Amino acid sequence: MKKFLASFYNISEEILEEYISHWSEYSVPKKSIMTECDKTEHYLYFVKDGIQKSYYLNDGKQHVMFFAYAPSFSGIVESFLTQTPSKYYLETITESTFLRIPYSKHAQLIKEHRELETLFRIITEQFLIGIIERHHQLMAFNTETRFKKFIKRSPHLINMLSQKDIASYLRIDPTNFSKLINTIKI
């Protein structure tokens, strides 16, 4: 985790050690809903092992928004940051192990240490850039291009996730996704 955080912004070892000392290990079985729609996210998670997905339901159908896997943060970030009810779900795809920190401790340490505030501003900026890029791809690219970009960015996920989840994430009809996967060289 230390290496991951340092990749965004270099903060003093002492402050980083103090911050990390407040994270605790947490494990969740596969196919467990960690955060429900209309519930507030009370923890920020750092993925040590496993894969999770966030999704919303529309007419009973899942629409996958994000996947999280090591090393990265997980959780319903906007619910965590604003301490308001989530608009979607967080579910483990595989058995998952995390480090987690409660909102109250995270907020306290951010308030006490300007360096941590800067670190999380930069992380938030990177998250926003990723969301804008994803939005651009969904709006501007055809299904084949979206699929090819996904394969180029995350080839390891093709064998770790269900075709249904990947198709939902890419906003591709599952039937068309099945055709794509059989015609494009991976």
What pLDDT was estimated at residue 185?
67
Closest by CA to 95, choosing from 27, 26, 25, 1, is: 27
Four-residue CA torsion sign, 119, 39, 42, 162: negative
Estimate the crossing angle of helix 143-153 against helix 163-170, to 10 degrees: 120
Question: Which pLDDT tens digits describe the chain residue by residue (186 residues)?
Answer: 999 999 999 999 999 999 999 999 999 999 999 999 999 999 999 999 999 999 999 998 999 999 999 999 999 999 999 999 999 999 999 999 999 999 999 999 999 999 999 999 999 999 999 999 999 999 999 998 999 899 898 888 988 999 999 999 999 988 888 888 878 766
> What pLDDT was estimated at residue 178?
82
pLDDT value for 174: 85
pLDDT of 186 reads: 62
Domains and CATH numbers, the chain: 2-108 (2.60.120.10)
Report yes or no: 84 and 42 within 8 Å, Cβ to Cβ.
no
**Nearest of 71, 31, 37 to residue 53 by alpha carbon:** 31
Spell out the residues 6+ positions from residue 9 whose beta carbon is closer than 8 angstroms to its own: 115, 118, 119, 122
Q: Which pTM was predicted?
A: 0.90
pLDDT at 58: 92
